[in-house]
Structure 1
Amino acid sequence: MCGQPAADVPRWETEDPPSVEFTCEDCFTLLPEARRPDDANHPPGDPTLIDTLRRIVANRQHAKIDGVLVDLWSASVTILIWDQLRDDKRQQLLALPSHQLILRCVAIYTRVTAKNDHQ
């Protein structure tokens, strides 16, 4: 999950990967999946987004949310961080579009785990 709608990426070339900013290899490998309809749509402020992410983790299966493919790792990290946040911080995150909420949680997780690795 990188925030770049995989449907916007024209193709994946194994010899010379296209340089699309903020698009990860997972999105490219899931490109055929990106053409399918969204599994869920969540406008900013919709708390059911967290339920959808929990379902991704429970089913151990990626899903397409608001036009962006969300992989199992991104969903699980988001839930892990979400469960540790105070309610006021949760409300701030919920005000963001779904992909930005996920990216923020991934960034928090990265910072926390990087600090633990250096100790």
Structure 2
Amino acid sequence: MNFPKNISNCCTPLLSSFIKPDETAQIAAIFRVLGEPARLQLLSLIANQATGEACVCELTEPLGLSQPTVSHHLKVLYEAGLLQKERRGTWIYYRIVPERIKALQSALALP
């Protein structure tokens, strides 16, 4: 087969930029965290709250999951840097970290 010597000139690049090697492991880890459907639902539920935040007590019923399971998923999202948390008495309120979501969007941004 005859391949062009410089393949990069044959096509228009799809991405406005590519993910830098030092960022790939971090971004891949976040996508692995988001590979669990319940975690995607949690992010969506929190993002769509009028106050922009929610506690476990507000999230168990819509997901149909137990409180310990929801708490586990929130912990994983928090540890991945996708959520912030604030303790108020016995409850912990979670909110999205917009910069982390924007980083995921820009990693796959089209020109």
Bigger share in strand: 2
Q: TM-score, normalised by structure 1?
A: 0.28
Could you say which structure has the larger radius of gyration?
Answer: 2
Q: TM-score, normalised by structure 2?
A: 0.30
